[in-house]
Amino acid sequence: MEKGMNLTLIVWRQKDAKSAGSFATYAARNVSPDMSFLEMLDVVNEGLALRGEEPIAFDSDCREGICGTCSCVINGVAHGGQKATTACQLHMRKFRDGDTLTIEPWRAKAFPVVKDLVVDRSSFDRIIQAGGFVSVRTGGTPDGNAIPVSKEDSDLAMDAAQCIGCGACVAACKNASAMLFVSAKVSHLGLLPQGKVEQDWRVLNMVKQMDAEGFGACTVTGSCEAVCPKEITLDNIARMNRDYGVATAKGK
Amino acid sequence: MNIVNNLFHSTLGKKYLMALTGAGLFGFAVIHMLGNLQVFLGPEALNRYAHFLQSNKELLWPARFGLLAMVALHIWSAVKLSAENKAARPVGYLNDPAPPAASYASRTMLMSGLIVAAFIIYHLLHFTVKVEPVNLTGRDFDDLHVLDNAGRSIHDVHQMLVIGFQQPVVVLFYIIGVGLLCLHLSHGLSAMFQSLGLRNKAWWPALQQSAKAAALLLFLGYIAVPVAVLLRLVK
């Protein structure tokens, strides 16, 4: 059998939201290069459970890069630094035998740690509740193309709609700013005719909630778009800034 | 008032204030540099221009108050936002890793800005208020006068620059101060378009390159005067 990789993990351990946390070091032995990062953690956890120790708590759900649940900062980079990849889609072959990996939770005031690597991202839910929706009369399925949408707008809106709300943008930003997330939602809805109607109201309310949650401001460093697994760009932040200015100028 | 509230009490609004005042101050920096470069046209041109600015008190003071207001708003929003940004991450990452893709200029905006503010205070004491001890030459710049074409005695700004910039230490201060200003601008000039939303995908690469080019030109234009004096190219 091919010999696996041996790694040293420095992991943030925190019992619960109220306890102080600290780093603990673990050896990950015989790791297959074909494992995903989370599968590697699963194996380490099995070892911990067998020894009667508390497994490392981390978030995951779909494990195919589309749900936005997994969230760890690996060696100081959210999702581990592979372009357009979530931690669950990051494979161990990207690391080298003998590497030491630091694994930390998203760090932001608005994302309090629940346990170990798990953070509470309900601040994102509250931002969505503040305006990340379109008020429509639900009814029968509308006819296709009943509302004309230009190809360009549709493409841009769908690009923005790719945001899975994982929070890597916040984790990577030196200011723990949620601008990329909020601007993706603002763009996704505001570019389409159904969402345009409420755009002034939407952008003002979502920004207000973003500020209330304690996220920082944008310094245009570009860290967010560098780590975003869905390649949401700073263009969306510019669009949100413009929409905010227009809404403000209208006295809304 | 919603407009005041949106501008002064939100992160986006404060970035608007930062960008708008930054744009105004950049405009001043360009005009100031163009004025300085008249040194190379000879003493008469520079002294006439300086006298024209100094003697129009009704324009001089409103301009000064306008600049002061922009500086105050720029610094106020910077300090306020920096405090909020710091508070947004109470616990940092292990070994303080550099944020991905962030340029040196973008990570050091507050520090470069604060040092530039200190340099501007020195610069004002040096050539505007003309405090003798800070010029390190042992001469009082207020005593330098020259006769203009009409035979009036006006301040000899050209002579003041020549004496002032023959001090290598002073020239070094200026190079550092202007260098940091231009580092600040190499990020700030494109970031202001982003903060105001006045850009799209097509313009962004060009804006970022132009910001760096403009910052470099400004740096060269500003240091040309002290360096030329120090090298005795301007006497």
State the CB neighbour count (10 A cutoff) for residue A78: 31
What chain A residue is nearest to B201 in terms of C-alpha separation? A235
State how far the Cα of B153 lies from the Cα of B144, in Å rounded to an integer: 10
pLDDT of residue A2: 61
Rounded to the nearest angstrom, the minimum Cα separation between B214 and chain A is: 18
What is the pTM assigned to this prediction?
0.95
Instruction: Give the tens place of pLDDT for each residue, B11-51.
Output: 999 999 999 999 999 999 999 999 999 999 999 999 999 99
pLDDT of residue A10: 98
Question: Which residues span the domain enclosing B12?
Answer: 2-85+107-230
Is there a contact between B81 and A214 if contact means CB atoms under 8 Å apart? no
State how far the Cα of B119 lies from the Cα of B111, in Å rounded to an integer: 12
Whether the CB of A128 is below 8 Å from some CB of chain B: the reply is no
- Both tokens of A173, joined, read 């930003």
Whether the CB of A76 is below 8 Å from some CB of chain B: the reply is yes
Rounded to the nearest angstrom, the minimum Cα separation between A145 and chain B is: 27
Mean pLDDT by 10 residues, chain A (252 residues): 86 97 96 96 97 97 96 97 96 96 98 98 98 88 88 97 98 98 97 95 97 98 97 98 96 88
Which of B1, B8, B12 to probe the A interface (max A CBs under 10 A)?
B12
Handedness of CA B58, B60, B63, B64 (dihedral sign): negative
What chain B residue is nearest to A171 in terms of C-alpha separation? B89
- Residues ≥6 apart with Cβ < 8 Å to B19: B191, B192, B193, B195, B196
Residue B160 within any structural domain of the chain? yes
Residue A166 within any structural domain of the chain? yes
Rounded to the nearest angstrom, the minimum Cα separation between B143 and chain A is: 46
Burial of A47 (0-12, 13-18, 19+ CB in 10 A): middle
Is there a contact between A222 and B106 if contact means CB atoms under 8 Å apart? yes
Question: Which residues span the domain enclosing A14?
Answer: 5-104
Domain harbouring A16, CATH code = 3.10.20.30
Instruction: Give the tens place of pLDDT for each residue, A122-132.
Output: 999 999 999 99
Tens of pLDDT along chain B (235 residues)? 689 999 999 999 999 999 999 999 999 999 999 999 999 999 999 999 999 999 999 999 999 999 999 999 999 999 999 999 999 999 999 999 999 999 999 999 999 999 999 999 999 999 999 999 999 999 999 999 999 888 899 999 999 999 999 999 999 999 999 999 999 999 999 999 999 999 999 999 999 999 999 999 999 999 999 999 999 999 8
Q: How many residues does chain B have?
A: 235
What chain A residue is nearest to B86 in terms of C-alpha separation? A175
pLDDT of residue A139: 82
Q: Which residue is it, tokens 């600015």? A: B53
State the CB neighbour count (10 A cutoff) for residue B110: 17
- Whether A244 and A177 map to the same domain: the answer is yes
Whether the CB of A116 is below 8 Å from some CB of chain B: the reply is no
- Both tokens of A19, joined, read 């306890």
Rounded to the nearest angstrom, the minimum Cα separation between A43 and chain B is: 24
- Which residues of chain A are within 8 Å of residue B197 when distances are taken between CB atoms? 238-245
Burial of A242 (0-12, 13-18, 19+ CB in 10 A): middle
Q: How many domains does chain B have?
A: 1
- Whether A100 and A166 map to the same domain: the answer is no
Handedness of CA B65, B69, B71, B75 (dihedral sign): positive
CA count, 13 A, side-chain hemisphere, A237: 27
pLDDT of residue B1: 60
Whether the CB of A232 is below 8 Å from some CB of chain B: the reply is no
Determine the Cα angle at A51 with ends A47 and A56, to 5°: 55
Domain harbouring A176, CATH code = 1.10.1060.10
pLDDT of residue A142: 82
3-state SS, residue B139: coil
- Both tokens of B224, joined, read 């040309």
Whether the CB of A182 is below 8 Å from some CB of chain B: the reply is no
- Whether A206 and A168 map to the same domain: the answer is yes
Nearest CB among B12, B91, B196 relative to A207 is that of: B12
- Whether A128 and A225 map to the same domain: the answer is yes
Interstrand relation of A5-13 and A100-104 (parallel, antiparallel or unpaired): parallel
- Whether A238 and A211 map to the same domain: the answer is yes
Q: How many residues does chain A have?
A: 252
Q: How many domains does chain A have?
A: 2
Is there a contact between A235 and B204 if contact means CB atoms under 8 Å apart? yes
- Whether A127 and A222 map to the same domain: the answer is yes
Nearest CB among A172, A235, A248 relative to B99 is that of: A172
Alpha helix (H) residue ranges in B147-167: 157-164
Q: How many A-B residue pairs are in contact by the CB < 8 A criterion? A: 151
Whether the CB of A8 is below 8 Å from some CB of chain B: the reply is no
